[in-house]
Amino acid sequence: MVKILANSACDLTPEMARQCGLTLIPDIVVFSPQEQYRNTVDIDAQEFYRRLPFCQALPTTAHPNLEQYMQAFASVGECDEILCISLTSKMSGAYSTACAARQLMMDQNFPIPITIYDTLEISFGMGILVKEACRMAREGKNVQQIVAELERIRQKVGVYFVMETLEYAKKGGRVGAIRVLAADLLGVKPILMFRDGLVRDIGIVRGYRNGLERVISLYETKAKFGGEVFVFHADRPELAQEVKERLFRIDPLARIQIGWVGSVIGVYTGAGALGIAFMEA
């Protein structure tokens, strides 16, 4: 039996994690030295976005430290193997820290083999891979089989989104390969894609609503219909519901869930990000 662990930055809720048999390792959101919260444990997305407009300085984030990873590994209970699924190593030190924790556990003769997997994804792109890993673990696949399948499908994960503002991404230093840094001043919105570990722009439109239309059209042309889909949003639940209904009209067999962009990623999106994560054909 394989036990799956993953960073909370996959943005699956604790309830989703329980349903999958997944253990979430909380990332940390730092409002001040005195106010540090474990993501999904001490603070949820709704509370984060309620507080964000009143912050004098942009909150920061931290991935779990060595001790937290080691405690998570030691607490898995009875299993044959551990697979720890990490957010992209190109934007976080989580993967390298998890690898260091694994080595320390092995040095202490920890009896359960541990594998660390770099998804090169964040948020619900990572969430899709995590849910697939959990499904395969429930089917009795071993770690080698699960990782081989994740490697096969990773390039098929489509994550497309638009943000109301790039202000938070610029402040947080997470602009990645976004070229349109003056987008807010110009009144245009970049269409953004997450692929190969980084966010990049793949086009521009005038206005946020037109951006949403482009994202929906990308689903229509690229999606493998009938699959699992996340409509994700940063404090825009009504708009996310509207997009979900639009997608159902395009793909009636799709298994669509609405999810909040969590506080770890929300530091860099601010309120107003909205997009779709799905498997491409």
Report CA 224 to chain centroid distance, whole Å. Answer: 20
d(CA 2, CA 143): 7
pLDDT in tens, 93-141: 999 999 999 999 999 999 999 999 999 999 999 999 999 999 999 999 9
What integer is the mean pLDDT of 14-41? 96
Whether 8 and 88 have beta carbons less than 8 Å apart is answered as no
* pLDDT value at residue 159: 98
d(CA 45, CA 52): 10
DSSP 241-257: HHHHHHHHHH-TT-EEE
What integer is the mean pLDDT of 148-158? 97
What integer is the mean pLDDT of 49-57? 93
| Residue 173 phi, psi (nearest 5) | 70, 30
- Give me the residues paired with residue 177 across strands: 200
Contacts of 33 (CB under 8 A, 6+ apart): none
pLDDT in tens, 67-76: 999 999 999 9
Report CA 166 to chain centroid distance, whole Å. Answer: 18
Whether 111 and 144 have beta carbons less than 8 Å apart is answered as no
- Please check the confidence at residue 177 and state whether its pLDDT lies above 70: no
Contacts of 107 (CB under 8 A, 6+ apart): none
* pLDDT value at residue 176: 56
At 160, list the tokens: 């497309």
pLDDT in tens, 216-253: 999 999 999 999 999 999 999 999 999 999 999 999 99
Report CA 186 to chain centroid distance, whole Å. Answer: 29
* pLDDT value at residue 274: 98
* pLDDT value at residue 98: 98
* pLDDT value at residue 174: 59
| 8-state DSSP, 10 | G
Q: Read off the pTM.
A: 0.94
Domains of the chain, start order: 2-154 (3.40.50.10170), 156-279 (3.30.1180.10)
